[in-house]
Amino acid sequence: MSARAGDHGRTRQMEVYLAGLRGRRGVVPFDADKLETIGRRRMGREAYAYIAGGAGLESTMAANRAAFERHRIVPRVLRDVSQRDTSVTLFGRTLPTPFLLAPIGALELANREADLAVGKAAAAEGVPLIFSSQASKPMEVVAAAMGDAPRWFQLYWSTSDELVASFVRRAEACGCEAIVVTLDTTMLGWRARDLDLAHLPFAVGKGMAQYTSDPVFTAMLRPEPLERSSRPTPAAVRSLLRAKASYPGGLRANLRSDLPLAAVRQFLATYSRPSLSWADLPQLRELTSLPILLKGILHPDDARSAVGAGIDGIVVSNHGGRQVDGAIASLDALPAVADAVGGRIPILLDSGVRGGADAFKALALGASAVLIGRPYAYGLALAGEQGVREVIRNFAADFDLTLGLAGCTAVSELGPERLESIP
Ligand SMILES: Cc1cc2nc3c(=O)[nH]c(=O)nc-3n(C[C@H](O)[C@H](O)[C@H](O)COP(=O)(O)O)c2cc1C
């Protein structure tokens, strides 16, 4: 995807309709709900529950969508919208569209190629990918497949400062252009779907590739032989085999190794730090000169503190409703956060973004860009790299057409006056 001044929404539309004349349909559904429904069929029960689910009653997931519904675009007409520019500039880099791919962990649940397929798709479309701390492929592997396409790194702050430093060093070395610290997941939310299935991907070694490829993490491993006191159940054997299969080298190489289980134990003991506070941030600043963003900000006072702490950007997010059930919708939190920030640093938003109109609304309310979350995971489940590419292209085209049809020719024209909010 090249620079974004032009008419690419219509180009994409015509590509789809002309392919239809030859009897070909898009590889992923265009409707967000259908994307999820069809994506679900390609995943196991546990995988779908982990990706689709949210915390508690999932009321925050519903609130995210309701907030987008409550804001309506008020189109203007007769404004020559034949050429449109959907580009935005973030930290000195111009992006073709206001979209980035959110960090999503354990993507091997959707497709074996996981982050590698996503990285290739993001690079091909010129959309930055935010590597997850919980990725299924090491960041170096994905970066190598992306050429010089933009990528950022998302950090879960573990209890080991040495591990944090190692992750940041590796992210810099593989060309990440920003560090996104996720603050809303110092503990896992209470996720009913996963609890019902008693399934956590990390407990079977999935989504741990950044750790098992890390020299600091692997030096911490203390393999202990399994206790043989009681006869293991078939399920316990299966879980153990899954952990061994997920560990570098694969099942065969790890059959006799105690490292995979040691890695799971070590990970569960250290992956997050509930004691994290504002006082820890200067330490990260000392580790890197890359822009630092805080992900999971929903209160204007926290946004003010972030600016005061010299943070470079904010991601307004409730983690797709996966953490605090009943939390405010990201879009509802955005105006007050934007007001508090007063344009001093860029604000990104995610949670519930399902199409071009949602991006339009978030940008109108003060975001500089939005993150695509679950929809690309469903694209990955459906058709690997190609599925993710199509999801990105569909978001981009939908946004471009919405922009023009609303009477705008550039992202800079978006402001709250473009929207009406329905009580
Ligand atoms: C399966 C799954 C795994 C996720 N893993 C991470 C992660 O590793 N790090 C992170 O900061 N956010 C993670 N998120 C949150 C996303 O970055 C993003 O905030 C969220 O998906 C946005 O909501 P949406 O999917 O409803 O659009 C994850 C989300 C999902 C659905």
> What is the per-residue pLDDT across 266-276, written as a single tens digit (0 to 9) for each?
999 999 999 99
pLDDT of the residue at 228: 64
DSSP state for residue 109 in the 8-state scheme: G
Q: Is 389 helix (H, G, I), strand (E, B) or coil?
A: helix
Burial of 9 by CB count in 10 Å (0-12 exposed, 13-18 middle, 19+ buried)?
buried
Share of the chain above pLDDT 70, in %: 98
Pocket of ligand 1 contains residue 375 by CB under 6 Å: no
- CB < 8 Å & 24+ apart, contacts of 63-66: 63/321, 63/327, 63/328, 63/329, 63/332, 64/318, 64/320, 64/321, 64/329, 64/330, 64/331, 64/351, 64/352, 65/352, 65/354, 66/329
Dist. CA 110–CA 44, nearest whole Å? 9
- 379, 388 Cβ separation under 8 angstroms: yes
pLDDT of the residue at 89: 98
Bridge partners (DSSP) of residue 153 are: 131, 179
- Ligand 1: residue of 182, 319, 392 to mutate (most ligand atoms within 8 A of CB) is 319
Query: Which residue is listed with tokens 């190692």?
Result: 166
The full DSSP string for 264-302 is: HHHHHHHS--TT--GGGHHHHHHH--S-EEEEEE-SHHH
Flag the least confident range among 85-94, 238-247, 383-392, 401-410: 238-247
CA angle 141, 144, 150 (to 5 degrees): 110
pLDDT of the residue at 232: 84
Q: Is 319 known to be catalytic?
A: yes
pLDDT of the residue at 329: 99
What's the 149 CA to ligand 1 centre distance in angstroms?
21
Summarised one tens digit per residue, pLDDT across range 307-333 is 999 999 999 999 999 999 999 999 999
What's the 377 CA to ligand 1 centre distance in angstroms?
10
Query: What is the separation of C-alpha 256 from the centre of its chain, rounded to a whole number of angstroms?
Result: 35
Nearest CA to ligand 1 atom 13: 104
Pocket of ligand 1 contains residue 318 by CB under 6 Å: no
For β-strands 419-421 and 71-73, DSSP reports them as: antiparallel
Pocket of ligand 1 contains residue 319 by CB under 6 Å: yes
Pocket of ligand 1 contains residue 60 by CB under 6 Å: no
Query: Which residue is listed with tokens 């944090």?
Result: 164
Pocket of ligand 1 contains residue 350 by CB under 6 Å: yes
- 331, 361 Cβ separation under 8 angstroms: yes
What's the 122 CA to ligand 1 centre distance in angstroms?
16
- 1 confidence band (pLDDT: 50, 70, 90): very low
Tell me: pLDDT of 14 over 60: yes
Pocket of ligand 1 contains residue 51 by CB under 6 Å: yes
Neighbour tally for 116: CB within 10 Å: 23
Average pLDDT, rounded, for the chain: 96
What's the 105 CA to ligand 1 centre distance in angstroms?
7
- The structure tokens listed for 3 are 């620079």
Nearest CA to ligand 1 atom 8: 105
Flag the least confident range among 64-78, 171-185, 221-235: 221-235
Q: Residue 181, by phi and psi: left (phi above 0), alpha (psi -120 to 50) or beta?
A: beta
User: Which atom of ligand 1 is the closest one to the Cα of 135?
Assistant: 8
Summarised one tens digit per residue, pLDDT across range 140-194 is 999 999 999 999 999 999 999 999 999 999 999 999 999 999 999 999 999 999 9
Dist. CA 362–CA 401, nearest whole Å? 16
Summarised one tens digit per residue, pLDDT across range 336-366 is 999 999 999 999 999 999 999 999 999 999 9
Q: Which amino acid is at 166?
A: S
- 411, 87 Cβ separation under 8 angstroms: yes
Nearest CA to ligand 1 atom 20: 320
Tell me: pLDDT of 374 over 90: yes
